Structure 1
Amino acid sequence: MRVDVRALGACNRLAERGAEQAAGALSELTGTDLTVEVTGASVASGEDLAEAFAGRESIGVTVGLRGGLEGEAVLAFDAANVDGLLSLLPGGQSMGHSAVTEVGNIALGGFLDGWANYLGKAIDMTPPRYLEADGAAVLPDGALAGDGVFLFESRLDAIGTDLDFSIYMLPDSGPFRDLIVGRTAPAAAAGGGNGGGTDRTVVPYESLSTFASLAKRGSANAADNIGMMTGLDTSVEVSRLRFVPLADVPMEVGREPHAGTVFELQGELSGYLAILFNEASAASVAGAMLPMEPDEPLGDMAENALCELGNVMTSGFIDGWANVLGTSISHSPPEFVHDIGAATVSPLVAKLSERQDYGFVIDAAIETEGIQARCDVYALPDERELAMALENLSSK
């Protein structure tokens, strides 16, 4: 199967539009303004999704989908916030499970309306089922099976409260496959997201799944490099490949101050890679690397240490990619950044947006024990070059 990247982008826009309708329905029910924070499609194995969702306790509603789109959809929120939700609903405290079920039924109905309108076919929902789940058990049935799945994920942010929601949809093959399968020329002839024309970027699904596994392997290599450099036990908490609108990436990084390094990737696979710590983590890991206490937590000495660390981490990421893809990838010298998180990645997104609207984002959280340091890694490859590399990989 060949995934048409533009068609996948259209499906992502449908999911985002559906999430906006769900947010509107929830806003009316709860009297709380909600906005769509981000919508994207994860490409990950069941094992990686299980790791990504570990430690969460969720309450929500699940429905089966039939007709124009088949699969399963879930509305979920943090179990600790159930009392807060019930307090916002008329009679919610006395209705309990039934109130939550009705909320999910209305929100998911709004989410699916946009898909049905686009497809020109009705999408029937099975009766809503209340659920309480630990970890990845909140995900639709089938999400943890197989080598890789497309899992659409939307996060709804409730302004001024902790009552945030997530919507997960796992479409079955069949109607969804017909939507995203590329039927045109191979990736090497593809045009960019903003370039117009009729060319399409198509990616072999099997190779895309392989690259998703490479994301985790690269994260593990980077963590090993940190451990060798600092002597501290380091582990990868989460690593998966997501297909998201580039415009949403700065919002994901957030408004908190971050420090770290940015690299431009060069060679047959170009793009950008950002390694970002929150300020406290950046100061902690830099201090662990230095032979003496720095004069300033994030002064020149810490900057040099973080740049050196960024170099070895980036090498850990791209060496594995280059070997498997059979191509050459190098990187620029590290550029130190210390700013609001969104401001650190906005210039990268702006450059890529000249050629494409969406991107395959590799995100990872790497934790260093003892000093509670955590960093997030955002890899933003050029869509066309990634497609070409994956096309070559599938032909070997």
Structure 2
Amino acid sequence: MRVDVRALGACNRLTQRGAEQAADAVAELTGTDLAVEVTGASVASGEDLAEAFAGRESIGVSVGLSGGLDGEAVLAFDAAHADALLSLLPGGASMGRSAVTEVGNIALGGFLDGWANYLGRAIDMTPPRYFEADGAAVLPDGALAGDGVFLFESRLDSATTDLDFAIYMLPDSAAFRDLIVGKTAPAAAAGAEGAAGDTGGSAPGANTAVPYESLSTFASLAKRGSANAADNIAMMTGLDTSVEVSRLRFVPLADIPAEVGVEPYAGTVFELQGEIGGYLAILFEESSAEAVAASMLPTEPDDPLGGMAENALCELGNVMTSGFIDGWANVLGTSISHSPPEFVHDMGSATISPLVAALGRRQDYGFVIDAAIRTAGVQARCDVYALPNERELAAALSSLSEV
């Protein structure tokens, strides 16, 4: 099976619009303005999903799907904000889980309307099931047993109250497979924006069909590269280091700066060169950058992020980047090099925005590898964002399937 990247973009736009309809439904019930922060599709194994959801406590509603699309959809609120949610719902304080179940049912119905309209077939929902769950238990039964499953995820937030929540959908029907391999006729959308034939920013005629098996392989490579990068931190700093989470996601490029946020980061940025171009950013939270740099220097620097620390972080970034992409080159049978490190010290969104703008001239969506790496002792955190060129990655993955 070959995944058409343009069709996957169309599915992502359906998810975005569905999340906006869900936000409107919840806003009407609660009187709180909500915004869709980010929407994307993750390609991950069950183990990856378990890691990504570790430490979360959620309440919410799940529904089974059948008819136009089989699978399951979930609406999950942060359990820590349960009281705030109930206080906003009509009769919520007295109705408890019944109120949550009702809002979940209405919001998920709105979320799925766009998918049903696009498919031209009704999507039947089972009665909503209320849950209280830890970690990945929020996901449908069987999700963690998959190898390279697609998980559509939308996160929504309120600027005025603690009312952030997420919608997850794991489709498993033939109808979804037809969508992502580009078989469903654009006419099914009857003039709706974002039909499966939409180029999604790719050049006309560009090869954007990626073998599913190769995409799953690349997700595994991404995780292995994250582990190599963590090992290189440990080697150079002497600090025990581990990968907290690593995922391959397909997201709108325009959403990435907001997702990274406005907190100050320090680190390095590289341009990838060779048959797969793009960018790789290694960003430490500011205090983490200071601690990691200090662990690499013989004496404490006068300026925690001055010249000596900058040189140390650039040296570390060089070694991490090589470890991150070497596995890609070996498995894909191609050459991938990188530019000298560019030291950055700014808000995360300000660092990522120029990279997104450069890629955005050629594509609207991209496969993003994000990894969170933690070191023991100094409690440092490092976020790695790999942004490969979509068409060059697709061509390399297609070649891999032919070997």
For the criterion TM > 0.5, the same-fold answer is yes
Distance 1:287 1:164 in 2: 37
Partner of 1:144: 144
Partner of 1:345: 352
* TM-score, normalised via structure 1 length: 0.96
Structure 2 residue corresponding to 1:218, chosen from 225, 239, 243: 225
Instruction: Give 2:159's aligned amino acid.
Output: I
Unaligned stretches of 5+ residues in structure 2: 185-197
Structure 2 residue corresponding to 1:308, chosen from 292, 306, 315: 315
1:326-353 deviation line (CA, Å, top 9, x unaligned): 1111000000111111110111111111
Unaligned stretches of 5+ residues in structure 1: 185-190
Distance 2:376 2:101 in 1: 40
Partner of 2:195: none
3-state SS, counterpart of residue 161 of structure 1: coil
Partner of 1:255: 262
> Is 1:143–1:151's contact at 8 Å kept on the other side of the alignment?
no
1:183 shift after superposition: 6.1
Partner of 2:377: 370
Partner of 1:172: 172
Instruction: Give 2:273's aligned amino acid.
Output: Q
Instruction: Give 1:315's aligned amino acid.
Output: S
1:142 shift after superposition: 2.9
3-state SS, counterpart of residue 362 of structure 1: strand
Q: Which sits farther off after the overlay, 277-286 or 377-386?
A: 277-286
Instruction: Give 1:279's aligned amino acid.
Output: E
1:261-340 matches, within 5 Å, as: 261-340=268-347
Distance 1:97 1:301 in 2: 56
Distance 2:263 2:322 in 1: 27
3-state SS, counterpart of residue 144 of structure 1: helix
Percent of aligned pairs with the same amino acid:
84
Distance 1:124 1:336 in 2: 52
> Is 2:206–2:391's contact at 8 Å kept on the other side of the alignment?
no
> Is 1:6–1:200's contact at 8 Å kept on the other side of the alignment?
no
Distance 1:171 1:141 in 2: 13
1:225 shift after superposition: 0.6
1:28 aligned onto 2:35: no
Q: Aligned pair in 2 of structure 1 residues 34, 28: CA closer, same or farther (>3 Å)? A: same
> Is 2:14–2:115's contact at 8 Å kept on the other side of the alignment?
yes
Distance 1:218 1:134 in 2: 28
Q: Which sits farther off after the overlay, 66-75 or 5-14?
A: 66-75
> Is 2:248–2:370's contact at 8 Å kept on the other side of the alignment?
yes
Partner of 1:357: 364
3-state SS, counterpart of residue 118 of structure 1: helix
1:258 shift after superposition: 1.2
3-state SS, counterpart of residue 69 of structure 1: coil
- Provide runs of 4+ in structure 1 moved above 3 Å: none
Distance 1:183 1:24 in 2: 31
Partner of 1:393: 400
Distance 1:278 1:216 in 2: 21
Distance 1:163 1:193 in 2: 32
Partner of 2:13: 13
Distance 2:155 2:201 in 1: 26
Partner of 2:240: 233
> Is 2:202–2:364's contact at 8 Å kept on the other side of the alignment?
no
Partner of 2:107: 107
Distance 1:274 1:195 in 2: 23
1:154-197 deviation line (CA, Å, top 9, x unaligned): 0001112222000000001311001111469xxxxxx9853553
1:55-204 matches, within 5 Å, as: 55-182=55-182, 193-204=200-211
1:1-56 deviation line (CA, Å, top 9, x unaligned): 00000000000000000001101111111111110000000000001111111111
> Is 1:277–1:376's contact at 8 Å kept on the other side of the alignment?
yes
Distance 2:91 2:228 in 1: 53
> Is 1:192–1:384's contact at 8 Å kept on the other side of the alignment?
no
1:113 shift after superposition: 1.1
1:280 shift after superposition: 1.0
Distance 1:246 1:366 in 2: 22
Cα RMSD, aligned residues only: 1.5
> Is 1:60–1:101's contact at 8 Å kept on the other side of the alignment?
yes
1:173-222 deviation line (CA, Å, top 9, x unaligned): 311001111469xxxxxx98535535551000000000001111000000
3-state SS, counterpart of residue 140 of structure 1: coil
3-state SS, counterpart of residue 41 of structure 1: strand
Instruction: Give 1:216's aligned amino acid.
Output: K
Distance 1:99 1:194 in 2: 42
1:146 shift after superposition: 2.4
Distance 1:24 1:30 in 2: 10
